[in-house]
Amino acid sequence: MLVGVSETLSHVPDEHAWTRGVLMRDAYYGVVLAGTVAAVWATGAGVGRVVSIPALCALVPWYFLVGRGARRDSPVPARTACYQLGVLALLVTAQLATLTSSVVLFALVPQSFMLLPAGWGMLALAAFNAVPMAEAVSAPDSGGVVTAGAVVLGVAFGATFGRWIQQIIQQSRERADLIARLAATRAELAESERQAGMLAERQRLAMEIHDTLAQGFTSILMLLDAAESAPPEQARAHRERAARAARENLAEARALVCAEPPAGLAGSSLPDALRRLVERLGEETGAAASWELVGEPRGLPAGTEVVLLRCAQEALANVRRHAGATRAALCLRYLPDGVRLDVSDDGAGFDPTALAGFGLAGMRERVAQAGGRLAISSTPGSGTVLTVEAPA
């Protein structure tokens, strides 16, 4: 029984102490009951033994039919109360027949304190020892005093042992509650992390779509609109550029779906990809677009190249759609400890502090994730200079 009680601190938190360590509890109960029956058989005689042993043996089916399903709760469940009253009736019957039957209290007292609150457990302890105390008080010789002393010591030990059991059960409940709260907190954290991951992935896809597909569709529409009012030769050139933009958009979509590098960097270096962007801007808008490479090109982390390419795409897309510029320039500088991208135009300009667009926010977030810095210098009517610096 003691081992069964101690196991309450090391098992599943959603079970009560009474339902854990069942095999050890059953074994302890059986050993004590068998020892009590053997003691009654050895010391009892006549009618006392005939009455006491059947009453003790009746505790076995009563335990398996009723006691095993009993639970500790507040208020005391009817099944638990019924089991305790049945135990008391069988115990008193056995004790009245022979006092040796009280040995079984070594099993019944821990049961009572495990199934009943402290106050009810003390009451059960007193009831279990009522017959031995009555026998001791009624005994005329000194043997009664010895018996009474033994009963008092037994009650004191039972009360102390019962209090210890109550503390173990309380600790078990508190630990179970703590584990349940920790499990709930862990589940909430996992859900929060999952939601944060979904949001981050959604934002990443939104930026990728905005910087690739949306800009490509815008370019296609502008070219097709220009083709409608242009002379045949020029219209054909616009349609060819629109078809090329559509093919590139399709390649970007496939790269996005397959989580591959941007199509512009597939089999190409970053300077080549940026040069093609500038050439296309000049072809589509007629603006004087220039490209400059400063420093010796060298390999950069894939993430840094993607950030620089996307920022260049967004900046040139803004030049195409909003700036109305006649000149635009893009310069890529390889520095000793990093790389710098400058995109400038002589267009309409804007107030960076007053404009909050998805493209600018996306650029800032990309550059920040790469550990770089984004600066925008612009005033209405004076053009724009965008600078991206990233560590190498």
Asked if residue 165 belongs to a domain, the reply is yes
Which tokens is 86 given? 């049945």
Residue 289 DSSP code: E
295 and 179 assigned to the same domain: no
Q: How far is CA 165 from the centre of its chain?
A: 34
By the 8 A CB rule, do 24 and 7 touch?
yes
Asked if residue 41 belongs to a domain, the reply is yes
pLDDT, residue 149, reads 63
Q: In whole angstroms, give the CA distance from residue 265 to residue 271.
A: 10
Asked if residue 213 belongs to a domain, the reply is no
Which of 137, 152, 186 marks a domain boundary? 186
Helix (H) or strand (E) holding 99: none
Asked if residue 384 belongs to a domain, the reply is yes
Per-residue pLDDT reduced to its tens digit, 281-304: 887 777 888 888 888 888 888 788
180 and 275 assigned to the same domain: no
- Residue 62's pLDDT band, with cuts at 50, 70 and 90, is very high
By the 8 A CB rule, do 91 and 128 touch?
yes
- Residue 15: pLDDT above 50? no
Q: In whole angstroms, give the CA distance from residue 219 to residue 221.
A: 5
- Domains: count for the chain: 2
15 and 162 assigned to the same domain: yes
Dihedral angle of Cα 336, 339, 342, 343, to the nearest 10 degrees: 160
Q: In whole angstroms, give the CA distance from residue 148 to residue 134.
A: 9
Which of 186, 218, 250 marks a domain boundary? 186
Q: In whole angstroms, give the CA distance from residue 265 to residue 270.
A: 6
288 and 156 assigned to the same domain: no
7 and 132 assigned to the same domain: yes
By the 8 A CB rule, do 294 and 331 touch?
yes
By the 8 A CB rule, do 262 and 304 touch?
no
Q: How far is CA 267 from the centre of its chain?
A: 42
Q: In whole angstroms, give the CA distance from residue 277 to residue 258.
A: 23
39 and 144 assigned to the same domain: yes
76 and 181 assigned to the same domain: yes
Asked if residue 222 belongs to a domain, the reply is no
By the 8 A CB rule, do 94 and 128 touch?
no
Percent of the chain's residues with pLDDT above 70 = 81
Cα distance between the two ends of the chain: 69
Q: How far is CA 342 from the centre of its chain?
A: 44
- Please give the order of strands across the beta sheet that includes 327-335: 288-294, 327-335, 338-345, 384-391, 373-378
Out of 2-6, 70-74, 188-192, 251-255, least confident range: 2-6
19 and 135 assigned to the same domain: yes
Contacts of 155 (CB under 8 A, 6+ apart): 125, 126, 129
Per-residue pLDDT reduced to its tens digit, 65-112: 998 888 877 788 899 889 999 999 998 998 888 888 888 888 888 888
Per-residue pLDDT reduced to its tens digit, 192-208: 888 888 887 777 777 77
133 and 281 assigned to the same domain: no
Q: Where are the alpha helices (DSSP H) in the chain?
A: 2-6, 22-43, 46-65, 78-97, 105-115, 118-128, 130-138, 142-209, 215-229, 232-257, 270-285, 302-318, 358-369
Asked if residue 148 belongs to a domain, the reply is yes
Q: Domain range spanning residue 366?
A: 269-392
Query: Residue 381's domain is classified under what CATH number?
Result: 3.30.565.10
Asked if residue 139 belongs to a domain, the reply is yes
Asked if residue 225 belongs to a domain, the reply is no
Which of 138, 157, 186 marks a domain boundary? 186
Q: Check residues 327 and 200 and name the one with the higher pLDDT.
A: 327
